[in-house]
Chains A and B, each alone.
Chain A
Amino acid sequence: MNGLATALFTLLRRDLILALRRRQDALVVLGFFVVVVSLFPLGVGPDPQLLRSMAPGVLWVSALLATMLSLERLFSDDFRDGSLEQILLAPQPLSLMVMSKILAHWLITGLPLVLISPLLGMQLNLDGTEILTLMAALLLGTPILSLVGAIGAALTLGLRGGGVLISLLILPLYVPALVLGAGAVDAVMYGSSAQAHLSLMAALLILTLLLAPWAIAAALRIMSD
């Protein structure tokens, strides 16, 4: 058990250190999110009411696309330099090791999106409770994006043009998170409660947490065979 905890913590720490020494990877994701959201007012015009009604969808779609950007490198760096083989050979269960990597990925790319979303919400004329709902939905939703995206990243490991393939594979699977996340903010906007959406989102997160690690581990084993 001790060896397991050490290995999981080490892998998490390693990925965080690597992200710190290669900051551009995380910053690109965050920058993309900010730029895409900021382009919408320029495209559709500065009508505050229109922007407000579009905001949930715009923010969520931008978050999905920003996450897609970071997915390709989730396993491919480790695959290229041989670290992935060593992780596969470690005596610890691969599905737990994968969870460690995904937690690191979420901390590097998902959490910054959650933290910067209030600013972008204000930019799109959302009010206080709507912004809080948006943050809660993103907090529950971005881990789902990382987990489901990791399945796609594992399945396209070592393939040429993997990035495009990930998008085709994974974006359809993001639909439930998108519908629930944008729906939660919409519900608050039209005066009802977001509780149903958020509860469903939490249930979806738990389901993904249970199933995705096995799928990712199996995909990694197949693709590195």
Chain B
Amino acid sequence: MIVWRRSAPLSRKADSPWTCVYHQPFAESPVPSMSHAARVVFPAHRLEVEGLVAERGERLLIQDLGFSLAGGELLQVAGRNGAGKTSLLRILCGLSRPLEGRICWDGVPVQRREEGPTAHLAYLGHTNALKDELSGEENLRIQSALQGRRLGRDEAWEVLGRMGLGGHEDLPVKFLSQGQKRRVALARLLLVRRPLWILDEPFAALDVQVIEVLRSALEAHLAANGMIILTTHQAVPIQGRQHTLTLGKAS
């Protein structure tokens, strides 16, 4: 594994504070090896969804949907625009409430779990949930602490380095490109160490290199017995057990 890191953190008080950072060519960033995820192997979990009914603005989007997912499996939610893919993901996260139906984690309805209804999942939506004024490192450490896991500076730097953001760790996120911001958001997924990842259009607007980064992260997560539910319009070749759920077939 190559860990590519600047030797000393860049001082914000330097004369021209940020420009020099950009001199490090982006192409030098290595495609990260995701061997770290193999260190964390999740115990066998099971996600079960039964009889899910959801509506959006009085229109019935999802009717009597049920599926189950075990560790190491990926579920791709497909469907045309407006079929309810994002709504389904938000329901699975607990951000929206279904009209009817049950979502069980290891056989227990998520609302009745002792650890809290969302303690088993990490969600990456359309937005990156990053604060522009904070650096990548600060964003990661804050997000991680909000999820109840305190994170050391070294660990944050290591993961950012692995995501190919070495040399950008202490740069305010507003100076990063869209793809780089997405990488920081993906680093958050790796750090919170939740068995279930729910990803909304994770491949949208990413360049080839970042897609490769994400693909290897997803494969490593599946290899570590994690679960992934994602929506995407692209076919992404991911090694592992996969299912596809197509919404709105009727119309």
The contact of A18 among B116, B127, B131, B143, by CB within 8 Å, is B131
Asked if A7 is at the interface of the complex by the 8 Å CB criterion, the answer is yes
Residues A10 and B127 in contact, CB atoms below 8 Å apart: no
Residues A90 and B148 in contact, CB atoms below 8 Å apart: yes
Asked if B229 is at the interface of the complex by the 8 Å CB criterion, the answer is no
The contact of B146 among A10, A18, A22, A81, by CB within 8 Å, is A10
Roughly how many angstroms separate A121 CA and B8 CA in the complex, as a whole number? 51
Roughly how many angstroms separate A81 CA and B62 CA in the complex, as a whole number? 27
Chain A 48-61: CB-based contact to B (< 8 A → 1; otherwise 0): 00000000000000
Residues A88 and B147 in contact, CB atoms below 8 Å apart: no
Q: Would A82 and B133 be within 8 Å (CB), given that A11-B146, A224-B95 are in contact?
A: no
Asked if B241 is at the interface of the complex by the 8 Å CB criterion, the answer is no
Asked if A3 is at the interface of the complex by the 8 Å CB criterion, the answer is yes
Asked if B216 is at the interface of the complex by the 8 Å CB criterion, the answer is no
Selecting from B13-21, B76-84, B117-125, the interface stretch reads B117-125
Residues A18 and B95 in contact, CB atoms below 8 Å apart: no
Query: What number of A residues sit within 8 Å (CB to CB) of B?
Result: 27
Residues A82 and B146 in contact, CB atoms below 8 Å apart: no
For the complex formed, measure the closest distance between the CB of B86 and the CB atoms of chain A, giving whole angstroms. Answer: 12
Roughly how many angstroms separate A6 CA and B118 CA in the complex, as a whole number? 18
Asked if A21 is at the interface of the complex by the 8 Å CB criterion, the answer is yes
Residues A225 and B129 in contact, CB atoms below 8 Å apart: no
For the complex formed, measure the closest distance between the CB of B49 and the CB atoms of chain A, giving whole angstroms. Answer: 18
Roughly how many angstroms separate A86 CA and B93 CA in the complex, as a whole number? 10
Complex interface residues of chain B between 34 and 57 (CB less than 8 A to chain A)? none
Query: What number of B residues sit within 8 Å (CB to CB) of A?
Result: 30
Asked if B94 is at the interface of the complex by the 8 Å CB criterion, the answer is yes
Residues A89 and B95 in contact, CB atoms below 8 Å apart: yes
The contact of A91 among B115, B123, B127, B143, by CB within 8 Å, is B115
If over half of B's interface residues share one DSSP class (helix, strand or loop), that class is named, otherwise mixed; here it is: loop
Asked if B128 is at the interface of the complex by the 8 Å CB criterion, the answer is yes
Residues A18 and B118 in contact, CB atoms below 8 Å apart: no
Asked if B97 is at the interface of the complex by the 8 Å CB criterion, the answer is yes
Asked if B134 is at the interface of the complex by the 8 Å CB criterion, the answer is yes
Q: Would A225 and B97 be within 8 Å (CB), given that A82-B128, A90-B148 are in contact?
A: yes
Residues B133 and A81 in contact, CB atoms below 8 Å apart: no
Some 15 contacts from A to B, beta carbons below 8 A apart, are A3-B148, A7-B146, A10-B145, A18-B134, A21-B133, A80-B127, A86-B146, A86-B147, A89-B118, A89-B121, A89-B123, A89-B147, A90-B146, A91-B119, A224-B95
Interface residues of B (CB under 8 A from A): 93-97, 115-116, 118-119, 121, 123, 125-134, 138, 142-143, 145-150
Interface residues of A (CB under 8 A from B): 3-4, 6-7, 10-11, 13-14, 17-18, 21-22, 80-83, 85-92, 97, 224-225
Additional pairs, 13, CB under 8 Å, beyond known A7-B146, A14-B142, A80-B127: A7-B148, A10-B145, A10-B146, A81-B127, A81-B128, A82-B127, A86-B146, A86-B147, A89-B95, A91-B115, A91-B116, A91-B118, A92-B148
